[in-house]
Amino acid sequence: MEPAPLLEVRDLRTRFQTRRGVLRAVDGVAFAVDRGETVAIVGESGSGKSVTAMSILRLFGRTDRASIEGAILLHGRDGGVRDLLTLPEPALRDVRGREIAVIFQDPSASLNPVFTIGEQIREAIRRHRPAEAARADAAAVELLRDVGIADPERRVAAYPHQLSGGMRQRVMIAIALACQPRLLIADEPTTALDVTIQAQIMRLLADLKAARGMGLLFITHDLALVGEIADRVVVMYAGQVVETGRTAEILARPRHPYTRALLECRPERHYRDEGEDERLLRPIAGAPPRPSEVAPGCRFAPRCPMAEARCTAAAIPLIELAPAGGRASRCIRWEDMP
Ligand SMILES: Nc1ncnc2c1ncn2[C@@H]1O[C@H](COP(=O)(O)OP(=O)(O)OP(=O)(O)O)[C@@H](O)[C@H]1O
Ligand SMILES: [Mg+2]
């Protein structure tokens, strides 16, 4: 089957007006998610992953003083294409509810402590699928069952604090699914959970995605999680895409030294299974540049073992390595990599 585009992000630039000047958090990011596909955005803290996700649905508040440029094209079922960046706010609100759903890292921050989880799921159903409002009670129980919550008839009456962290994240997923989204954006959905629960939630997301034919944009700093879930990977560094391609190819033969460094510091399975401290693992030396301090040329050069003079002389474009699978790297020495 020909891949059909679902979301196309083109030359996304998100800036914040701060007291210390303009902060370019996302600086020319482009990628696409096809229907039914899982794309992972990977990168260290501060690389601009969440800002990318927030920009897609314009989730910033007035106090963020954000400006977003580029294009965010959402392809409709009927073949029509809308640019979410130019869509009027009421139309965008519909997209947020019905077509694209987001789940974030910390479910406790998103759930309302004073309502039962059933009330919160039913509210999402009424808002996004008014036709089903009459059977919202039954639909809420079904959704809880779909996300793997045992005894959903009883759990539906529980308050968020009565549930474990893993169960609260399952409830967040149920609320996101209540609108039957065509695209689910999951921003570090398992980071706050322990590794066993993390694996369960990953499996759940993969199963739900397959069963519902959704696109999934999965955001993580942990490249180890990506192999199990993503069809393609977008590696971000300091607000830019530095490498992208099919997951298997990226994991087997990274073509950017930053991707390779991420792979080398990735926790081995046996460490995780034995519950050993992940800090034993080798982190990447140095720190990413602050967005206000990026030098010309390669932003990773100051930390790169392969850097040479020409790397910092001029801006480096994303170089297409192969037409198939959209393989590209922002490293002029990619052919020299082992
Ligand atoms: N509302 C905001 N106002 C000003 N700066 C912001 C705002 N939100 C994010 N930033 C800055 O933008 C940059 C990118 O942040 P972002 O949250 O996208 O990183 P991230 O890749 O999601 O990292 P993490 O893995 O820690 O979640 C950071 O320098 C951050 O401080
Ligand atoms: Mg983030």
- The model's pLDDT over 82-114, given as tens digits with 9 standing for 90+, comes to 999 999 999 999 898 789 999 988 777 789 999
Give residue ranges with CB within 6 A of ligand 1. Answer: 16, 18, 23, 25, 43, 45-51, 64, 221, 291
Q: Which ligand is nearest to the CA of 51?
A: 1
**Among the atoms of ligand 1, which is closest to the Cα of residue 52?**
18
Q: Which ligand is nearest to the CA of 14?
A: 1
Q: Which domains does the chain have, with CATH numbers?
A: 5-99+181-274+281-336 (3.40.50.300)
Mutate to test the pocket of ligand 1, among 12, 15, 16 (most ligand atoms within 8 A of CB): 16
**Among the atoms of ligand 1, which is closest to the Cα of residue 53?**
18
Query: What is the whole-number distance in angstroms between the Cα of residue 32 and the centre of ligand 1?
Result: 21
Query: What is the whole-number distance in angstroms between the Cα of residue 82 and the centre of ligand 2?
Result: 26
Mutate to test the pocket of ligand 1, among 44, 50, 105, 187 (most ligand atoms within 8 A of CB): 50
Mutate to test the pocket of ligand 1, among 19, 22, 23 (most ligand atoms within 8 A of CB): 23
Residue nearest to atom 30 of ligand 1 (CA): 46
Q: What is the pLDDT along the chain (338 residues), one digit of tens a residue?
A: 567 899 999 999 999 999 988 999 999 999 999 999 999 999 999 999 999 999 999 999 999 999 999 999 999 988 899 999 999 999 999 898 789 999 988 777 789 999 999 999 999 999 888 888 889 999 999 999 999 999 999 999 999 999 998 899 999 999 999 888 999 999 998 887 888 888 888 888 999 999 988 999 999 988 888 888 999 999 999 999 999 999 999 999 999 999 999 988 765 543 444 444 444 455 677 888 876 677 789 999 999 999 999 999 999 999 999 877 689 999 999 999 98
- Closest among 239, 181, 234 to 40, alpha carbons compared: 234
CB-based contact 124:178 (threshold 8 Å): yes
**Among the atoms of ligand 1, which is closest to the Cα of residue 26?**
14
Q: Which ligand is nearest to the CA of 26?
A: 1
Residue nearest to atom 3 of ligand 1 (CA): 64
Query: What is the whole-number distance in angstroms between the Cα of residue 72 and the centre of ligand 1?
Result: 19
CB-based contact 179:129 (threshold 8 Å): yes
Q: Is the pTM of this model over 0.85?
A: yes
Tokens of 158: 């529980």
**Among the atoms of ligand 1, which is closest to the Cα of residue 188?**
27
Indicate the pairing of strand 319-322 with strand 240-246.
unpaired
**Among the atoms of ligand 1, which is closest to the Cα of residue 219?**
22
Residue with tokens 């460094």: 261
Radius of gyration of the chain (CA): 21
pLDDT of 279 reads 42
Q: Which ligand is nearest to the CA of 187?
A: 2
Give the H or E element holding residue 155: helix 152-155
| DSSP conformation letters of 95-152 | HHHHTEEEE-S-HHHHS-TTS-HHHHHHHHHHHH-GGGGGGHHHHHHHHHHHTT-SSH
C-alpha 18/C-alpha 23 separation (Å) is: 7
Cα–Cα distance list, 309 to 99, 257, 299, 332 (Å): 47, 16, 13, 11
CB-based contact 60:66 (threshold 8 Å): yes
Indicate the pairing of strand 183-187 with strand 215-220.
parallel
CB neighbour burial string for 306-316, b if at least 16 within 10 angstroms, e if fewer = bbeeebbeeeb
Q: Is 71 helix (H, G, I), strand (E, B) or coil?
A: strand
Residue nearest to atom 24 of ligand 1 (CA): 45
- Closest among 95, 119, 91 to 179, alpha carbons compared: 95
Residue nearest to atom 16 of ligand 1 (CA): 48
Q: Which ligand is nearest to the CA of 23?
A: 1
Indicate the pairing of strand 66-75 with strand 81-83.
antiparallel
Residue nearest to atom 31 of ligand 1 (CA): 46
